[in-house]
Amino acid sequence: MGIKAVLFDLHGTLAYCPNRMTDAEISDYLLKRGYEVSPQTLRAAWSFVAFIDYPKYGYRNWKSFFSRIFQRLGVEVDEETHSTLIEFLEGTPYQLFPDGARAVRKAKEVEFRTAIVTTIARFQFQEAIGPIQDCLDFVMTGYEARCDKSNLKMYLKVLEVLGVPPNSTVMVGDELPLDILLPKKLGIRAILLDREHKASQECRSADALVYDLDQAMETIIKWHGKKDSRVK
């Protein structure tokens, strides 16, 4: 059976977030404002909101997202502190990798169904995917799936939405447990993206190892049995 759909991971695969504030930097800022929030407790609250609360409530902006984080921390911050923090975060948005844009457009050009599969809140990357929005059939986040990406339900849901069987679907991502091992449990073929050339023997678990998304699309088109001289 030929390939019918290509699923793309977001963070580290299609897009990246340059200069995003670290847990330590946010913690330092809050401490200077008089709020004692350690990097580890911040990370724990952030993870809880991202993986448990967001799938339930679907926060639409940084303000509501971080308000929930502060609630989880049991910390009430003043409006100036909150607003300034949000400005910092909004000032470092996601950006598409050049090969990310090319890969999604190529997938659509070859008439594959396409989707993003990520737990990340959509408001964080919506602007970044604007240039390829018309080439995406679906964007699956934790809210659409009502679960985080480590739950097989997310992959089952995206297959249902796209109307494709697992054995005609390919997942492309840079994280072995979530992007390779998990979808393969359903019979989805999986390509490991290794942008930094750091993959070890673990890559044997993937159906293919590539170093950029142009190579990924070459591989998928080859599997599909189509030749396209424009793929470079």
The per-residue pLDDT for range 67-113, each reduced to its tens digit, is 999 999 999 999 999 999 999 999 989 999 999 999 999 999 999 99
Statement to judge: residues 65 and 158 lie in one domain:
no
Query: What band does 199 get if pLDDT is binned at 50, 70 and 90?
Result: confident
For 99, the domain range is 5-16+94-224
Q: Where are the alpha helices (DSSP H) in the chain?
A: 23-32, 39-48, 54-57, 62-73, 79-90, 98-109, 142-145, 152-162, 182-184, 213-224
Statement to judge: residues 137 and 41 lie in one domain:
no
Cα 129 to chain centroid, rounded? 11
Query: What band does 204 get if pLDDT is binned at 50, 70 and 90?
Result: confident
Neighbours of 26 (CB within 10 A): 21
Residue 62 maps to a domain: yes
Q: Pick 200 or 222 by higher pLDDT.
A: 222
Residue 114: its H or E element: strand 113-117
Angstrom CA distances, 72 to 43, 53, 75, 92, 181, stand at: 11, 10, 8, 24, 32
Beta bridge partners of 15: 11, 96
Q: Which of 70, 90, 110 is the last residue of a domain?
A: 90
Statement to judge: residues 126 and 82 lie in one domain:
no
Q: Which of 57, 90, 123 is the last residue of a domain?
A: 90
pLDDT in tens, 15-25: 999 988 999 99
Statement to judge: residues 83 and 103 lie in one domain:
no
Statement to judge: residues 120 and 162 lie in one domain:
yes
Nearest to 105 by CA among 81, 79, 77, 136: 136
Q: Tell me how long the chain is.
A: 232
The phi-psi region of residue 151 (left if phi > 0; otherwise alpha if psi is between -120 and 50; otherwise beta) is beta
Statement to judge: residues 38 and 103 lie in one domain:
no
Q: What average pLDDT score do residues 134-148 get?
A: 97
Beta bridge partners of 170: 6, 189
Q: What is the CATH number of the domain that holds 135?
A: 3.40.50.1000
The count of domains in the chain is: 2
Q: The whole model's pTM is what? A: 0.93
- What per-residue confidence (pLDDT) applies to 200? 67
